[in-house]
Amino acid sequence: MPRPFNIYRLLYPDEKYIWIQVRILHETDKAILVDNGMKIWIPKSKIHGTRLRNGIFEIYVKKNVVG
């Protein structure tokens, strides 16, 4: 069911979350160094889910976290 039109949503759209395939290279108490074509540090507080699908590790993050 589509949401009704709202000025607030126009100015502040919902955050987009995506699953990305990663390879974990290093982990600290606060962040994980991952490789998904480029090596980036992702704070653990920004990771909203993890899964292993068909032998591939994936994390669920906001779209703007990974570029």
pLDDT at 1 over 60: no
DSSP 8-state symbol, 64: G
The residue assigned the tokens 């976290």 is 65
**Of the candidates 46, 47, 43, which has an alpha carbon nearest to the alpha carbon of residue 32?**
43
The β-bridge partners of 40 are: 34
| Residues 3-44: tens digit of each pLDDT | 677 788 778 877 889 999 999 999 999 999 999 888 999 999
- Residue 2 scores a pLDDT above 80: no
Higher pLDDT, 46 or 66: 46
